[in-house]
Amino acid sequence: MRIGPVLLSLLLLTGSAELAGCGRGAERGAERGEAGPRVLPMRAPAAHRFGTRAHFDTGVLRMRLAGIQPRWPGPRMPVAPPPRQVDCERLKCVALTFDDGPGEQTDKVLDVLAAHHARATFFMLGEMITEGTREFVRRMVSEGHELGNHSWDHASLAGLSPEALKRELGRTQDIVRQVAGVRMSVMRPPYGATNHEVAAVTKQEGLAQILWAVDTLDWRDRNASVVAKRCGDAKPGDIVLMHDIHPTTVQALPHLLDALDHKGFTYVTVSELLGRLVPGKEYLSRPPTDRGLQAKEARPGS
């Protein structure tokens, strides 16, 4: 008959111990002979251990949970604008491409492109997609840019075994899918280094190899006006190579877009420029179509 009050007392005691929290902990710590200030936050070590920024980052948590439990809802994916029908046969199209990011400068590159209603293609390194840059990747998608695979860590793919090659491309495909929900269909081999093996693996992986027709050499010549001038020399149908990790390229961008605007260019993604892509195949610029060739042949003196 006296069990009820005993249980109640026990519950009250437990509750008060719980409420006392740190204070009690400190006493227990003191009993173990630990020195004053060091024992104070009895619960703090646990909070400290698990309370890192990464632990409380909801995006990271969601991704980790999604990794453990595939049906767990992942981070909210960006929504791409509807596909455009751009007739590059008739319009002066140019495909601006940015390699080696996403980096600190990428946000600024996106701002300048947005101001010119320009769409571009970003060939990204998987290792550059971090907590600090993944929002830029999502922004690329929601603003209509194309995402491309530039390997995980800029390895020269032509020197790798097929397994290592698949890993370089596969890891980047995976992180881009996790972060932006996009399956890329274009890749650019670092240094433009490609061979039969790279062609075979990219074909298996469903990736077309995108090289370039205009090299701004912005990685070498960190001079905005030189970069702007080289890009301004682009011809219709060209793919232009730049890097969104150099401040000088970001400085050059408004000027080169002004120059190309003046010449009446339309800025398109690589897929918009090239149309239907063949996995494994190399592209440097928009290949002339039959219709384009006929028009060219019909023109006297060309």
Of the two residues 105 and 266, which places its CB atom closer to Zn ion in the complex?
A: 105
Distance CA 188, CA 149 (A): 6
Stretch that binds Zn ion, among 24-32, 81-89, 92-100, 287-295 (CB under 5 A): 92-100
Mask: binding to Zn ion, 165-204, rule CB under 5 A, as x and -? -------------------------x--------------
Q: DSSP state, 127?
A: G
Q: Distance from CA of residue 63 to its chain's centroid? A: 16
> Per the residue annotation, which of 238, 243, 244, 246 is the catalytic one?
243
57's tokens? 């980052």
Active-site residue flag, 243? yes
Of the two residues 218 and 272, which places its CB atom closer to Zn ion in the complex?
A: 218
Active-site residue flag, 262? no
Smallest separation (angstroms) from Zn ion to the CB of 79: 28
Of the two residues 148 and 190, which places its CB atom closer to Zn ion in the complex?
A: 190
Beta carbons of 98 and 271 less than 8 angstroms apart = no
Instruction: Count Cα neighbours of 162 within 13 Å in the Cβ-side half-sphere.
Output: 9
Smallest separation (angstroms) from Zn ion to the CB of 94: 20
Closest CA to 122 of 104, 97, 144, 105: 97
Residue 99 touches Zn ion, criterion: CB under 5 A: yes
Among 100, 205, 218, 244, binds Zn ion (CB under 5 A): 100
Smallest separation (angstroms) from Zn ion to the CB of 257: 22
Of the two residues 100 and 244, which places its CB atom closer to Zn ion in the complex?
A: 100
Distance CA 176, CA 156 (A): 20
Q: DSSP state, 257?
A: H
Beta carbons of 178 and 63 less than 8 angstroms apart = yes
Binding site for Zn ion (CB under 5 A): 99-100, 190
Name the residues annotated as catalytic. 99, 243
